[in-house]
Amino acid sequence: MVDLLTLTLEQQAPKHNHGEVAGFTWQWLGEGLLQCTPKAHYRKTIVLSAGIHGNETAPIELLANIIKDLFAERLALSTRILFVLGNPQAIRQGIRYLENDMNRMFCGAYKTLVQDQETQRAAQLEQVTAQFFEQSDKDAQRYHYDLHTAIRASLLPVFALFPYQTRAYDDFLIESLKAANLDALVYHNSVGKTFTHFSSEMLHAESSTLELGKAKAFGQNDLSEFADIDQVLRAVISEQALPQRKKPKIRQFKVADSILKQSEDFQLKLSADAPNFSTFQKGEVIATQSIGDYKAQDTQVWILFPNPKVKIGLRAGLVLKEIE
């Protein structure tokens, strides 16, 4: 049994760094990194990551429970899988990140920052993820689910974001997200520096970032709220049929623009606790700063991840348009 979460929280290594149980072999690849490979042929190779932001604990607990059930043989493993607890230092401290947002460090962006534990971790995650996919069966389809929770409420509580890519988005990935009863899918319009953009662009994985509710401390999560995504992930890794969707048709959005903070006088025309997917009508001012006002350009737009406290030069929100 490898209790990845406890090992990570206690900054410990397992007694052995590899082994096997009925049905699969496992290998501990370093802090917060566990690889499991079925003994039988597999058709999918999957990265399941959480804790890129250290205070988003529910997805971390969800993955920890999946690992426990795999080792206890309560869950069959039919896909090759890499479990990633992304930012161990931030996880132990219960904070989003130490110095800089790790989910803006990928695709080599860590090289432009002052080198520290987080930039080193981002480099390690790129290397380990690349090796994991490269060492998998050549005909295995590559997937990456990066699990998060949001720092604010949302009018559409659970949703997924797809990295920008020029190839078509994968049908199975979309169907699995629909089966997980997500409320919305959001498609990026430009290259990014997220973990899922790295796995999609550089490693040709079918990738998605999932936002699954609000960030809470360890021990404060009601994991029953995450039952739908838990059921889907278990079905995916055991190659079982996906559950039937219970919600109305999923809504789809595309990113129309990013609002950049370019001066200290930057302000968003939203209350501090305004939820994700708040709306603006054409002509309404969304943000102000010394270079000029930012106004809604379309009949109706939605705002995602509004955060005026980001550093200058970083994104303070996404402007979305709904896809009919």
**Is 204 known as a binding-site position?**
no
- Tell me the pairing of strands 315-323 and 24-30: unpaired
Q: List the catalytic residue out of 118, 201, 206, 211.
A: 211
The number of angstroms, rounded, from the C-alpha of 49 to the middle of its chain's C-alpha atoms is: 7
| Phi, psi angles (nearest 5°) of residue 89 | -65, -45
Decide if 44 contacts 79 (C-beta within 8 A). Answer: yes
**Is 31 known as a binding-site position?**
no
Judge whether 175 counts as a catalytic residue.
Answer: no
**Is 201 known as a binding-site position?**
no
Q: Is 199 helix (H, G, I), strand (E, B) or coil?
A: helix
Query: How many Cβ atoms are within 10 Å of 258's Cβ, its own excluded?
Result: 16
The answer for residues whose C-beta is within 8 angstroms of residue 22's C-beta and 6 or more apart is: 73
Report the distance separating Cα 85 and Cα 96, nearest Å: 13
Report the distance separating Cα 108 and Cα 284, nearest Å: 37
Decide if 48 contacts 82 (C-beta within 8 A). Answer: yes
Q: Calculate the CA dihedral of residues 275, 304, 308, 101 and round it to 10 degrees.
A: 110
Residue list, annotated binding site:
53, 56, 148
Which residues are known to be catalytic? 211
Residue list, annotated binding site for Zn(2+):
53, 56, 148
